[in-house]
């Protein structure tokens, strides 16, 4: 049985047994908060548990490193949607220690891509779109600096509702311990 088949079989039982009932919620975040964090698989359950967030409490946005890299990225658009259309009133940017984006050099990632058989023509196609792969594919050197940078992009966005609190935090992906970004 393939992984997809297993998922579909499990899902049929999940619905049939009404296992969804404990998770029923409205589409607007009860705690009026938006979280931007890393896609790291250790944070799937740990982060909400460590912050006492349940289904329906918060808007959760995830990407590599929780990095908000541009005021016009899809992440920033999602933040604005959460604030204007979904009733969120505060933004929490949460990086984490031991992140895969910490120290990730774009040169290494580009080499890894090439090792998988993607050739220079593909990189030329990326450059033709005005994107420098060496700038685009890198990580960060300091989680605190990266969180502060992301917070600053949100805070300085011309379309951010006035007085929106934007907090920068760092979580430990083992213990769930949360601290303010330095």
In the complex, the residues that contact Zn ion under the rule CB under 5 A are 38, 40, 99
The nearest distance, CB 180 to Zn ion, in angstroms, is 18
CB nearer Zn ion, residue 33 or residue 38: 38
C-alpha to C-alpha distance for 120 and 176, rounded to whole angstroms:
41
The nearest distance, CB 112 to Zn ion, in angstroms, is 17
The CB density around residue 38, as the number of other CB atoms within 10 Å, is: 23
CB nearer Zn ion, residue 28 or residue 179: 179
The nearest distance, CB 97 to Zn ion, in angstroms, is 9
CB nearer Zn ion, residue 103 or residue 165: 103
């Amino acid at each position: 049985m393939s992984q997809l088949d297993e998922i579909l079989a499990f899902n049929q039982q999940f619905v049939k047994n009404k296992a969804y009932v404990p998770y029923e919620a409205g589409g607007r975040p009860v705690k009026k908060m938006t979280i931007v964090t890393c896609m790291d698989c250790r944070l799937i359950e740990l982060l909400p548990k460590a912050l006492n967030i349940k289904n329906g409490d918060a808007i959760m946005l995830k990407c590599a490193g929780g990095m908000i890299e541009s005021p016009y990225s899809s992440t920033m658009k999602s933040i604005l949607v959460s604030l204007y259309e979904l009733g969120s009133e505060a933004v929490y940017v949460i990086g984490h220690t031991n992140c895969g984006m910490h120290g990730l050099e774009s040169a290494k990632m580009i080499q890894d891509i090439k090792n998988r058989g993607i050739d220079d023509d593909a990189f030329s196609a990326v450059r033709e779109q005005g994107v420098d792969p060496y700038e685009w594919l890198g990580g960060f050197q300091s989680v605190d600096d990266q969180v502060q940078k992301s917070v600053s992009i949100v805070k300085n966005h011309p379309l951010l509702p006035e007085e929106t609190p934007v907090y920068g935090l760092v979580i430990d992906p083992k213990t769930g311990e949360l601290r303010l970004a330095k």
